[in-house]
């Protein structure tokens, strides 16, 4: 059984990140466009993480809780949630997470809402520990 061990850390990323459809279109157009898209998104997130999560270094496994606030309902939810790859890679680069493999990220949740005035991604990082009880 996994139990929370500490309060969660929250990161708020303003705006929207590229979705899967935009990423695929970039891959099919210019050779390095998708790589640049990923790099730009990660750089943005790293800067935000270093400001909002200053000094946070998570050593144990986590559950990542995402709330995606979109301008409209135009993009499909699975298209939107693809961007968690950018977020998790950026949190490793920022030194917040040790890694993004199975040993570090036990799971994640996705919730979706619409906020035309303030689209954003709210990421709650909940540190967990392995409980001794079943």
Mean pLDDT by 10 residues, the chain (134 residues): 66 94 87 88 96 92 97 96 96 96 95 98 90 38
Q: Based on the structure, what is the number of domains in the chain? A: 1
Looking at residue 45, which CATH number applies to its domain?
3.30.1330.70
Beta bridge partners of 122: 12, 67
**CA 36, CA 118: separation in Å to the nearest integer?**
25
Structural domain containing residue 124? 2-130
Q: What is the pLDDT of residue 132?
A: 32
Q: Name residue, tokens 């949740």.
A: 109
Q: What is the pLDDT of residue 6?
A: 64
**CA 87, CA 49: separation in Å to the nearest integer?**
10
Residue from 106, 93, 97 nearest 57 by CA: 97
% of the chain surpassing 70 pLDDT:
91
Q: State pLDDT tens for residues 24-42.
A: 888 898 878 888 889 999 9
**CA 75, CA 98: separation in Å to the nearest integer?**
31
Length of the chain as a residue count: 134
């Amino acid at each position: 059984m996994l139990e929370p061990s500490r309060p969660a850390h929250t990161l708020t990323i303003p705006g929207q990140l590229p979705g899967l459809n935009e990423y695929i279109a970039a891959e099919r157009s210019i050779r390095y466009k998708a790589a640049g898209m990923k790099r730009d998104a990660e750089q943005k997130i790293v800067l935000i993480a270093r400001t909002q999560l200053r000094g946070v270094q998570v050593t144990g496994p986590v559950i990542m809780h995402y709330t995606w606030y979109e301008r409209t309902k135009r993009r499909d939810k699975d298209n939107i949630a693809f961007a968690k790859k950018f977020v998790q890679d950026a949190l490793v680069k920022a030194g917040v997470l040790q890694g993004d493999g199975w040993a570090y990220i036990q799971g994640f949740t996705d919730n979706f809402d619409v906020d035309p005035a303030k689209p954003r991604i709210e990421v709650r990082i909940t540190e967990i520990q392995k409980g001794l009880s079943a």
